[in-house]
Amino acid sequence: MARIELTGIQKKWGSVWGVRDVDLDIADEELVVFLGPSGCGKTTTMRMIAGLEDPSDGEIRMDGEAMNEVDARDRDVAMVFQGYALYPNMSIYENIRFPLRMRGVPKAEHDARVRQAAEMVELGDYLDRKPGALSGGQRQRAALARAIVRQPQVFLMDEPLSNLDAKLRQAMRVQIKHLQRQLKITTIYVTHDQIEAMTLADRIVIMEGGRVQQIGTPDEIYSDPANTFVAGFIGSPPMNLVRGRLDGGRFTAPGIDIAGIGIEGVRDIVLGVRPEDCHVSADGAHLSGQVFGVEPTGDMTYLTIRTDGVNIEVKADRDYRSELDVTETVAFDRDRLYFFDGETGQRIRQA
C-alpha cells in the first residue's frame, strides 16, 4: 500500500541532535522495527514520519510523494502509542469510531467497520466500556483496533507493548504480526526490546546516538553485526567483546590466544564471540580463566569466566557444574569469531 523513503533526515533541537543522517527505504507491506536504547532517536524518527515532528533537514516520501509539508492529519498514517492514548471520555466504540468520523468516512459504514476492527482484536464484548474500565491488555487492543479501523497506508507503533506483562506481551506480539500480515499494511514498529525486534521484523534498523548503526534482517543483524554497538546490543546474554592485540594473524588478550586469523597487520582490535559459540573444552582451548559464576537455568547453564578483570559469558551444557575460582578452558567456534576496529568499533572482515 505504501513505500516510505527517508533521505538525509535530521532533527536538531537547538544544539542537541535528535536524529542524524537517516536514510531508509521501506518497501510496501514491510514490517520494519526501529531498535535502540532510549534516546537513540527511534521514536523521533517515527514521529517525523507521522508528521508530529518536522525534520530539521531531509525529505520524507510516501509512494514517491513528498510529505514534509503535509500535516499529520492529512497523512494516511495510523499510530499506536506507548501509553495507548485512548480518549477517556469516549466509550471503546466511540474511540474506535473516532478516526472514521474525522476522516469523513460515510456514516453508514461506521458500525460495520468498528465492529469488524473490534472483532479482529477480540474486543467485541467491551465496546460499551470506557477505557478506564479495561485492563492494560484490553486497552492496548482497543488502541490497535482504533489504528486498523480505517485501513491506513502506514502503521506506526511506538513501543506498544512496553506497559504489558511478559506473558501478555508475547501473545500481543503474535497478534500484531498476524494482523500486519493479514492487512498487508506497511508497518514501522519502535522498541528497545531486542526479542520483539527479532521476532517481529522483516528488517531491523538499529539506532544509537541519533544515527543508524545497521539495517538488516534479524538474521543479518545477529550473525553479521556491523560494529561493536550492534554486536553488544543484540543477543542475550550479548556478544562478548574483548580488547586485544593482533600481530601476524594472531590475536592475544589476557587469557586468550587465537592464531591463524585472516587479518593483516599489527593493530589494537576487539574480538567478538557469542556465548553460544564458546565451548568448555580441555583441548584446543583459546581461553583460559577462572570460573566466576555458574547459573543453571534448566535448559542450559550460564558460565562466567574471568580473566584479568574481563568477564566472558559462556552458554554451557545444561548439566555443566563447577566450583568457583577453578581454572577452566574454553574453545571458540572458529567460524563465528568477529573482529572490530579498536578505535572506531567498525567490523573488520577476515580475508
Q: Which of 113, 146, 203, 315 binds other proteins (CB under 8 A)?
A: 146
Minimum distance of other proteins from residue 22's CB (angstroms) = 20
For other proteins, the closer of residues 104 and 298 by Cβ is 104
Cα(221)–Cα(107) distance, integer angstroms? 46
Q: Give Cα 5 distance to the centre of its chain.
A: 20
Q: Which three cell numbers stand for residue 10?
A: 535530521
Minimum distance of other proteins from residue 150's CB (angstroms) = 8
CB 251 within 8 A of CB 266: no
CB 41 within 8 A of CB 9: no
Minimum distance of other proteins from residue 225's CB (angstroms) = 33
Q: Which amino acid is at 320?
A: Y
107 binds other proteins (CB under 8 A): no
85 binds other proteins (CB under 8 A): yes
Q: Which of 73, 184, 243, 318 binds other proteins (CB under 8 A)?
A: 73
Bridge partners of 250? 247
Cα(330)–Cα(294) distance, integer angstroms? 14
DSSP element (H, E) containing 327: strand 327-332
For other proteins, the closer of residues 103 and 334 by Cβ is 103
1 binds other proteins (CB under 8 A): no
103 binds other proteins (CB under 8 A): yes
Minimum distance of other proteins from residue 178's CB (angstroms) = 23
CB 86 within 8 A of CB 93: no
Within 13 Å of residue 211, how many CA atoms lie on the same side as its CB? 5
Q: Which three cell numbers stand for residue 93?
A: 466504540
For other proteins, the closer of residues 17 and 81 by Cβ is 81
92 binds other proteins (CB under 8 A): no
User: Which residues would be at the binding site for other proteins (CB under 8 A)?
Assistant: 47, 50-52, 72-75, 77-79, 81-90, 98-99, 102-103, 130-134, 136, 139, 146, 156, 163
